[in-house]
Amino acid sequence: MSTASATVTVTPFARDLRDWRVRRGLSQLDLAIRVGTTQRHLSFIEQGRSAPGRTMIIRLAESLELSLADRNGLLTTAGFAPVFPESDLDGAELRPVRDALDAILAGHEPYPAVVVRSGGEIVMANTAIDVLFEGVDPSLLETPMNAYRLALHPRGMAPRIGNFPEWGNHVIHGLRAASRRSPSPVVEQLLVELSEYVPATNPGRDHLGFAVPLRLASSDGELTLITTLTSFATATDVTLANLQLEAFLPADDASAAILRARAARRASVAAGH
C-alpha cells in the first residue's frame, strides 16, 4: 500500500517574494523579524503552503523596501488589486505637486535643475538648464528627453565634459544601483547603451569612488558643478514616488559667477533689452 504525498506548487507570488528577499540580501529569519512573524510562517509562504492576506503582503513589501510600483506588482501576483494609485502627472490630482515643483525649479535659478522620472525621462526643467543643452544634437532634445542619454551620448554633453570617464562612470554607477533596488527591463537596456559611450576606467589604490563634480565647458568658460538629488519620501502615488529632482550647484565662485551672468542675459532678452 502506497501513500501519496501532497505536491505544493510554488505560486508566482511565492517565487517573486523569495526573489526580492534574496535580492535584498536577507535571510528568512531577517525578513520574518522585520515583518513581525516567524521564520516558519515565512518559509511556508515562500513554499506556497500558506497564502498571506493583503495586510501581510503590504508589510512584507514595506519591509523589503520596495518601490510603490513594485508593491503593487507583488499584490497583483498574489491576486489582490493594487492599493497605490498611479496618477497622470498632467492631471488635476497632481496639480498642487506640479505647482510646488515649478516654484522649486524657479527658486533654484540661476542654477540648473530638472525633474526626472525613474529611468531618466525629463518632465520639468528651469530656464537655467540651457547651459547643459549647449551644442547638443537636436534629436536628443526631442520628447521624451532622457537625462542620462543627454549627458553621456557622444552628440550630447559628453564632448564638453572635462572629466568624462570619471563622471560618466559616476552616472552609470548610480543608475545601476537604482536598477538593483527596483529592476526594470527598460533601465537595463538603457544601461547597456550608456556603457557603450563611457570608457572603462582602471581605478588606482587611492580611488575614492566615482562621486565626482561635473566639469563642463560652456560658451562662458568651464563650470564645476555638484548635484543634489531629492525624492518624495512620503509619496503614496506611484507617479509622484517615481519623480526625482536633480539640482546642480556651483562648486566654486567662478562657476557661480558664470551662471549668474547667464541668468542676467536671459532676463535682459526677456525684457526686450
Is 235 in a helix, a strand, or coil?
A: coil
- Cell numbers 521564520 correspond to 39
* Average per-residue pLDDT for the chain: 92
pLDDT digits (tens, 9 = 90+) for 38-76: 999 999 999 999 999 999 999 999 999 999 999 999 999
| pLDDT confidence of residue 6 | 53
Going along the chain from its start, the domains and CATH numbers come out as 12-77 (1.10.260.40), 92-270 (3.30.450.180)
| pLDDT confidence of residue 3 | 47
Name residue 161's beta-bridge partners: 216
pLDDT digits (tens, 9 = 90+) for 16-25: 999 999 999 9
User: Could you tell me the CA-to-CA distances from 77 to 15, 23, 52, 81 in Å, in that order?
Assistant: 10, 18, 12, 9
| pLDDT confidence of residue 209 | 52
| pLDDT confidence of residue 9 | 74
- CB–CB of 256/250 below 8 Å? yes
pLDDT digits (tens, 9 = 90+) for 88-124: 999 999 999 999 999 999 999 999 999 999 899 999 9
pLDDT digits (tens, 9 = 90+) for 189-231: 999 999 999 998 776 565 555 568 999 999 999 999 999 999 8
Nearest of 69, 53, 63 to residue 21 by alpha carbon:
63
- CB–CB of 82/76 below 8 Å? yes
| pLDDT confidence of residue 82 | 95
| pLDDT confidence of residue 2 | 45
Task: Assign 1 a pLDDT band (cuts: 50, 70, 90).
Answer: very low
Calculated CA dihedral for residues 229, 232, 234, 236, nearest 10 degrees: -140
DSSP code at position 121: B
Spatial separation of the C-alpha atoms in residues 258 and 220, rounded to whole Å: 6
Total-model pTM: 0.85
Spatial separation of the C-alpha atoms in residues 38 and 28, rounded to whole Å: 9
